[in-house]
Amino acid sequence: MINSPEAIFLLFALNKIGAVANMVYGGSTEDELEKYISDTSSSFVFTLDIFQDKFVKIAGKAGIKQIIVTSITESMSLPNRIGARVVKNMKPISLPEDSRFVSWKQFLRQAIETNKTCHNGDAPAVITYTGGTTGGSKAQCSATKRFLRLHSNISLAKQAFAAKAHGCSCYLYL
């Protein structure tokens, strides 16, 4: 889900409640996915529908409680969704016959409102993985303050692009 608006919403929601996002590349093999999920004791998976078949095969072994599935077209406007279906032949994919699988919309309907907020800047926020160029992939954990700094840098980048038209420069510090 990394390239979808739902992924951004999800990251901030998880960060707000102090949960850690385990960002795994959907194109990974089933064995890699099972290892990443098992190693971190992840119990919920959010994935695009094009990758859901991999999770059907590993859900039981990896201890996954629920798999929330969305389509890359979920947040598109109606004309873009129609265009994606016609031009790119992106048809909706049905959920598997497994009670652990729910759609993004079903998941949102189950939402529980909370005021819980993580205020510890050193708490883990996101786990990502290296490309594995020097052996196997390695997990990297980013703290909440770094995650939030990235968000502020994105906001600054928007301002920088707007300011560029006026001859200004802006540097982003990570």
**Model pLDDT for residues 75-88, shown as the tens digit of each residue:** 888 888 888 888 88
- How does residue 28 score in pLDDT terms, banded at 50, 70 and 90? confident
* Residue 76 or residue 148, greater confidence: 76
Question: Which distant-in-sequence residues (6+ apart) come within 8 Å of 128 by Cβ?
Answer: 23, 139, 140, 142
Strand bridging mode 124-129 / 101-103: unpaired
Q: What distance in Å separates the CA atoms of residue 24 and residue 164, rounded to the nearest whole number? A: 35
Mean predicted lDDT score pLDDT of the chain: 80
Q: What distance in Å separates the CA atoms of residue 9 and residue 166, rounded to the nearest whole number? A: 32
> CB 43: neighbour CB atoms within 10 A?
11
Going by C-alpha positions, the residue among 75, 58, 57 that lies closest to residue 1 is: 75
CATH fold group of domain 5-143: Rossmann fold (3.40.50)
pLDDT higher than threshold 60 for residue 59: yes
* β-bridge partners, 67: 45, 101
Domain boundaries, the chain: 5-143
pLDDT higher than threshold 80 for residue 148: no
